[in-house]
Amino acid sequence: ADPNNGTVPTPLTNYLDTQYFGEISIGSPAQMFNVVFDTGSANLWVPSQRCSPFSTACFTHNRYDSSQSHTHVENGTGFSINYASGTIRGFLSEDVVVVGGLPVVQVFAEATSLSAMPFIFAKFDGVLGMGYPNVAIDGITPVFDRIMSQHVLKEEVFSIYYNRDPKHSPGGELLLGGSDPNYYIGNFNYLETREMGKWEVTMKGVSVGVETMFCAEGCTAVIDTGSSYITGPASSVSRLMKTIGAQLDETGYKVNCDTVKMLPSVTFQLGGQEYSLTHEDYIIWQSQIEGDVCTVTFRGLDVPPPTGPIWILGANFIARYYTEFDRRNNRIGFATAV
Ligand SMILES: CCc1nc(N)nc(N)c1-c1ccc2c(c1)N(CCCOC)[C@H](c1ccccc1)CC2
């Protein structure tokens, strides 16, 4: 392990700037899985060898086989988890999990059914929740909490780099115990987490160009490494899209690629700093046979109270702003990503 902070960086794969995942192992001998390191949830699950034959999304992914691991401990408690975009059902097991070179004995879920939509689109096998313990289903101690209790980390933080240029590797990096100067420039600006136990902060406004159009009275922003896009209240996002001339079709908001270069910046006011995204940050430009398609990486999503209304800042925001999640001081740090 790296002498600096007790761990080794985990390189991430970038799939089309919309999915970022890295490798962990579970069991002895090691069974390898690709997982999203997800600050929007706090549980670890991977597909199970005992998947129901009707779960297509399960059979196209690596599956955990407890009968092949001599460190497996039976549990069997039922489990289900819902994301903004899908549901997982299964049961609990315990085994040795190795993340960033660190082994922990971990309770996790073996998924026996994954909602086909959208898990058939998932290029990763499972999810490793990096959220706080109080959002963990079944009160299971999350992986990062197990690592912190080993006192091997130089700092009780983890950092995420998402590369937004799929042609260059690594597609990203998870670093446990510190931040990686190779992937950011300048200093970190820190924001206190809004509510104990969630990776969310208070946002002071959302501007398009120079005009603050939304959240002028203050609102909540969730910093979510498990979301591809930026989501906001549907009415706000629909007005934002109208302002930039985007049309909603069945796969999301699209703009005419000829207009992309003139699109305004969208700025998020967080902790006295302004975090701007340019069209290069929020447009995915795909050249297809029938012509170029320019997708806007914003989605309307109404999260019901008391959690909502919220804005979720996902991968396209994190790709621009290298992010440090600090459990010691309950704060989030942003620096300009390289
Ligand atoms: C990581 C788990 C998770 N955690 C949180 N907090 N939010 C959400 N939305 C997810 C989630 C669940 C399912 C899927 C997902 C994400 N995907 C996005 C990966 C993002 O990787 C950074 C992919 C996708 C492809 C097509 C359309 C929608 C989604 C596969 C399906």
CB of 226 sitting under 6 A from ligand 1: yes
Q: Which of 227, 298, 310, 323 to mutate to test the pocket of ligand 1 (most atoms within 8 A of CB)?
A: 227
Q: What pLDDT score does 168 carry?
A: 76
Ligand 1 atom with minimal separation from the 123 CA: 30
Residue ranges of the chain whose pLDDT lies below 70: 1-6, 166
pTM, rounded to two decimals:
0.96
Q: Which two tokens stand for residue 171?
A: 């597609």
Mind listing the pLDDT tens digit for each residue in 48-99?
999 988 888 998 999 999 999 999 999 999 999 999 888 999 999 999 999 9
Q: What pLDDT score does 110 carry?
A: 98
261 φ/ψ angles, rounded to the nearest 5 degrees: -65, -20
The two most distant CA atoms of the chain are separated, in Å, by 60
Q: What pLDDT score does 5 carry?
A: 55
Told to judge if 2 belongs to the known catalytic residues of this protein, a careful annotator would answer no
Mind listing the pLDDT tens digit for each residue in 109-131?
999 999 988 999 999 999 999 99
Q: Which two tokens stand for residue 254?
A: 């699209």
Ligand 1 atom with minimal separation from the 122 CA: 30
> CA–CA distance from 112 to each of 74, 142, 238, 294 (Å)?
16, 20, 37, 36
Q: What pLDDT score does 243 carry?
A: 96
Q: What pLDDT score does 3 carry?
A: 52
Question: Residues 125, 224, 281, 326: which is the catalytic one?
Answer: 224
Q: Which helix (H) or strand (E) holds 282?
A: helix 279-282
Cβ distance 35 to 126 under 8 Å? yes
Told to judge if 180 belongs to the known catalytic residues of this protein, a careful annotator would answer no
